[in-house]
Every structure is written in C-alpha cells, then in structure tokens.
Structure 1
Amino acid sequence: MGVNLNKIVLAIDIGGTFTKLGLVDPKGQIIASRIFKTGANEPFEIFKELFHTEIFRLISNINSENIVSAIGIGAPNANYKTGTMENPPNFNWGQTIPLKKVVQEMLNYPVYMTNDANAAALGALRFGVGKGMQNIVVLTLGTGLGSGIINEGKLIYGQYGMAGELGHVNVFPEGRQCNCGLKGCLETYVSVTGMKRTVFELLSNSNSASILRSYSFKDLTGKDISEAAHQKDGIALEAFKRTAKILGGKMADTVAHLEPEAFILTGGLSQAGDLFLKPLKNYMESALFNAYKGKVKVLLSKSTRTEAVLGPAALAWENILTKDNP
C-alpha cells in the first residue's frame, strides 16, 4: 500500500542544549523547522511553556492540503513503553517527566516517543546512510554517548523499554564519575564532555605547548579540539587517539554480541572525520575476534543539526506504516 504523500508528521528532537522541531513528509523532506534552547537546567514548566509556543508557531506553516498523521519524539532517557523521560542526566526536570502526556494534551494526534539515540538509529535506517541495512548500531557522540541498536530491521527496546545504553557500560572500574551515578562509564571517556576531561588531564600532566591551554573547561568545545588536531596539536591528537582506543575496544565487544553490518557515528565528536575515524577503525579491528575482522563498517552520518528531527520522524512513520500494513 502506498503512502499518502500529503501526509506529514511532527518530529521533535529534545537535546540537552537545543530542541529541534520539524514537519517531515514520507520521503524525509523537512517542510518546516524550528530550533530553540532547551533550558535543561531550568524547571520543566519553563520548557513546557516555550515548547507550546514553538510548536504552534511551527504548525502554522501547515498548508491546507497537508495532513498531520502523528507525532514522533526523541529525548534523553525516554522510554518507548511508558512515554516518560526517566532520570535524564544533565536535566533539572525531575526523575520522571510525562513528556508524551504533555504533548498529547497540546495536540490531538497519536504520539510515539523513544530515546534520542534510538530515534537516530531509525532515522539512519529509513532516511540516512543505514538505508537498506538490517543490522546497525548508531552511536550519538555529543554531550554524552547514546546508542540505538537495529537488529534484523527492528529497533531493540528490551523488556522494559530502555535497552541499548552502551554509554553506560563500564570501561574502568572506579574510573571517572558519571552523571548517572556510576563510575567508569564509557560516556565519561567517549563523548565531547569525556574528551574535554581527557584534554585537561593531558594538559595537567604535560608541559608541552598546546593551542588548548588558552581555553577554560567550560568554553572548550569538541570543534575546538578537532580544529587543534587538524593543526597537528599534540595534546589534541593524543586525546583523539585515547578516545578512539577506548571506543574501538568497546565496539569490538559489541560486535561479539550483535555482529552488526555497520556502526554509524553522529554528533559533535564524529565531525572530526578521519582524525577520529581512522584510528577508531584500527583499534576496533585489532580487538575483534578473527571471525569478524574486515566485515564491520564504521560510517559517519551525514545529518546536519536540523536533520536531527529525521530520527523522531522515522519513529512516527514506522508506527504509521505498521498500522496501515499490519
């Protein structure tokens, strides 16, 4: 059964810094979009008011021939089964946020919600570099490390809706403190925040000159580290090397569990390109069981920040198509 091309979905991607909204058609075309600061450190009620305003500004762009069929939401620690954000790190919104219910009260459309990294995995599968694949792992390398796992064409949710949190597998027992409450989590080493911590550890243990010495921890960004590495800055290059080694080893472990066709990297850290990708592939290959060597791709997502809405859009379209073709 064909899809009505006049149908669109409202896609919502909530990040720790920005929230992105988009109206998306079945082909992944973004008809209209808006972006605003999330205010994760402010109370949820403040976000809720701004959210309401921005959503209604966006849907004012809908033409009479377009039909909104559903809403898709990607958010940190969002549970597909309960419709809540559960203990999201880096947010000051409380332990359980009924986000799906809030959106349903604003707009009378079916609402589908999942973890932001799960949504990114669906977006890569339907609209991105994972199109045509059946087994992929998407890693979102931003403020934290998120992951979404597609197995045999289906997203893995797990028994309680929170499967696939590779960012919280243990790297070093009693290692760096994580915002989740555990120590030694992968995301404390492999994320923009984790790399910043690595950079400052390297700076404190070395007297070598570095472009990065002029930055405070708060002001340093992943882009700054990437630009320094492109200028052959020794501290930046070593930070990328250490980060690639840790992630490559954990990717090899994941291959042993899942044997994906590809890992797809997205987010700030992935923007370093080959500076990160080449050592990452080498470290992963060196840690792989022989049966897997040379078989698993490591790809970079080509999505822009605005196109982050394609993940939750894919979630909405997947549910629409499942209902149309049970």
Structure 2
Amino acid sequence: MIMSQQLAVGIDIGGTNTVFGIVDRRGNILSDGKMSTKSHDNVEDFLTELHGHLSKLIEQAGGTENIRGIGVGAPNGNFYTGNIEYAPNLSWRGIVPLANLLEQRFGLPTVLTNDANAAAIGEMTYGAARGMKDFIMITLGTGVGSGIVANGQLIYGHDGFAGELGHCIVQPGGRLHPGTGMRGSLESYASATGVCNTAKEFLTNRPEVESVLRQYALEDITSKMIYEAAMKNDALAKEVYEYTGQILGEALANFVMFSSPEAIILFGGLTKAGDMLMKPVRIHMENNVLPIFQNKVKLLFSELKESDAAILGASALAWEMKD
C-alpha cells in the first residue's frame, strides 16, 4: 500500500473499450483495468461500472487522499468545458458533462481532453517529447489524431477543439470519409482504415499485379494482413506504404510550416511498419517544405508502450492541474 506519494488516475475512453489505472509521478502504472465502453448505451450505467472497478484500485492505493486528481482522454473531449461533445463513435449522444459526473462519483478534481491531446501531454511528461516546448503528436490508428504543443503549451483553440489535423484536406475531392462526409482528408489515407482502402483500390485497379493479398476477400483485408504481406516483400503491399507515406509526408510538410516544431512524434499501430512508412514520409516531408525548415524537424516514434500510453497520457493531465 502506498501512503505517502501523490498519485493520479488516468482514464482513456475508446469507442470499444475503456482503460484506467493508478499512476505515480514517474509514469509507473501501479494498477490498471479495462472494461467495455460500447456495452453501455447510457453514460450513467457506464459510470456505475467504472466506479466499481476504479474505487477498488483507489482503495488499494491508500484512498482518495493519495490521489491528486483524475485525467480523462476521450473522443471529442473538450478541455474547457469538461464535456464530451457529439462524439461520433460513442453511443452517448449529444453533450455529456463527463468531468462533472466523475467528480460527483469520486469526489476528485477531474480534467478532460480529447484522446490525441492526452497522448501529446503523456509524451511530453513521460516520453519522447520530454524537455521539448514545440512538437506535434500524430496518432496513426483506426483514425488520425493529433496534439499540437507550442511554446510549452497544448494548443486548444478558442473552443477547445484545435488540432484536428487528421481532418485537414490533403487530396481535394479525394476519398470519401464516411464519418464526416468530407472528401480527401488525411484520415482517409493515413489511418489503418485508409491503408486498407488503398490496398483494396490497388488490388481492384491493378488485376495484373500479383499479391499474396489476393487470397483474401477484399472486405476481409486488414492492416495487419497488409503489414505481414509487406514484411514478406510483397510488392503491392510495399507500394501501399509508399503511397501512404507520400500523403502523410506531404501533410506533415504543411504542419511543419505552420508551427515549426522541434519534432513530430508518431504513435499508433501503423508505426509498426517502421522504415517502410517512415522513409517515404521523411522524403516527401523534406521535399515539400521551404529551405528554412529542411532537415530541422525530428521524426520520432513514441517512447510510450502502446498498451500503457492511453493511461499515462490521461493521468498526465492530472499533474497539469493547478493546486
């Protein structure tokens, strides 16, 4: 039992699952847990289950007097209001005053932001961005999220929703994003979903090109299959990463010229592709920035374990709270 050191609670709410844990100031996760998000259509039912799990962990850590606060990362989480606002991948519709509801349940100060902003704060507190005052965090998962840090501060904008770089248009009139109705957004190409769609387009439009991916039905192809095919030197799968890297690199060039970051940190499942993705990203980023920006920006992979990053990022929000 830990009695003398201050701890923080980190909660990351995803569309499918919610993870949570107790974290110390050094970024050690002392205890953690997981529960389903999508099985709860009502936020009150979700909070009842979460309270049941988390209160046990808090008790084991010496009680609420040892907890500085609760940090939460969630889709469409608004730092200013503490609300989840119109999250498309959650079943709780409209505006959900999540920070207030958690404060009522646990009696602890609670701060909320979106999941990519939480990842950026986690990276600045515990990961590759330690000591940096200017960097951009890009999360490459099912979607593309981002957090922008400038002059040592996370950029929230006037309404709390700044930093939606994944929805910037990079191919005008391009691929339809079914969730937003927009065409040609970065997320449509540089996410795991985008990579799958690129592979399907290549397989459909180039019937003469052999690929191990042809043994699968188009609708069954996953980003993992594409990665495994590329690792076996499958030419079409490797070209998917070249194309994805080009689009991402061109987008990052714009982001570099916008905020002149010291580094861009990439996180998420797509980064497992390593140099197959990073090499074209670097080439196309450098080829599309002004000379004053060339060879100045580090491209880094996150130093946080993927399994821990969500909890660490959310918990880091609690250390940011003013006394």
Using the size of structure 1 for normalisation, the TM-score is 0.91
Change (3 A) 1:77 1:40: farther
Unaligned runs of 5+ in 2: none
**CA distance in structure 1 between the aligned counterparts of 2:128 and 2:21, rounded to whole angstroms:** 20
Does residue 11 (structure 1) correspond to residue 10 (structure 2)? The answer is yes
Which aligned runs of 4 or more in structure 1 are off by greater than 6 angstroms? Answer: none
Q: What is the CA deviation profile of residues 70-129 of structure 1, one whole-angstrom value per residue up to 9, with x for unaligned ones?
A: 000011111001111122233332132222122122110000110111111111111001
Shift of 1:229: 1.1
Check 1:42–1:215 CA distance in 2 against 1; reply closer, same or farther (3 A cut). farther
Query: In the superposition, relative to structure 1, how do residues 216 and 36 fare at CA in structure 2: closer, same or farther (>3 Å)?
Result: farther
SS, match of residue 189 in structure 1: helix
Report how many aligned residue pairs link the two structures.
318
Q: Secondary structure at the match of 1:35?
A: strand
Does structure 1 retain, via aligned residues, the 8 Å contact 2:246–2:284? yes
Q: Match for residue 317 of structure 1?
A: 319
Asked if the contact 2:123/2:303 (under 8 Å) is kept, the reply is no
CA distance in 2, matches of 1:141, 1:214: 27
- Partners of 2:10 and 2:314 within 8 A in 1: yes
Q: Could you say which residue in structure 2 is the equivalent of 1:281?
A: 282
1:119-166 deviation per Cα after TM superposition (whole angstroms, max 9, x unaligned): 111111110011011100000111111000010111111111110110
| Identity across matched positions, percent | 41
Question: Would the alpha carbon gap of residues 219 and 18 (structure 1) be closer, same or farther in structure 2, given more than 3 Å must change?
Answer: farther
Cα distance, 1:42 vs. partner? 4.7
Matches of 2:64 and 2:145 in 1, distance apart?
Answer: 37
Partner of 2:250: 249
Structure 2 SS opposite 1:263: strand
Q: CA deviation at 1:46?
A: 5.0
The question of whether the paired residues in 2 share the 8 Å contact of 1:134 and 1:153 is answered with: yes
Asked if 1:306 corresponds to 2:316, the answer is no
Separation in structure 2 between the aligned mates of residue 140 and residue 115 of structure 1, nearest angstrom:
12
User: Aligned residue for 2:38?
Assistant: 39
1:228 is aligned to 229
Query: Partner residue of 1:92?
Result: 91
Aligned-pair distance for 1:211?
2.6
* Residue 16 (structure 1) shift: 2.5
Q: Pairwise CA RMSD of aligned residues? A: 2.1
CA-to-aligned-CA distance 1:244-284 (integer Å, 9 cap, x gap) = 11111110001111000000000111121111111111111
| Aligned mates of 1:218, 1:102 — CA distance in 2 | 40
Following superposition, the deviation at residue 307 of structure 1 comes to 2.9
Match of 1:266 in 2: 267
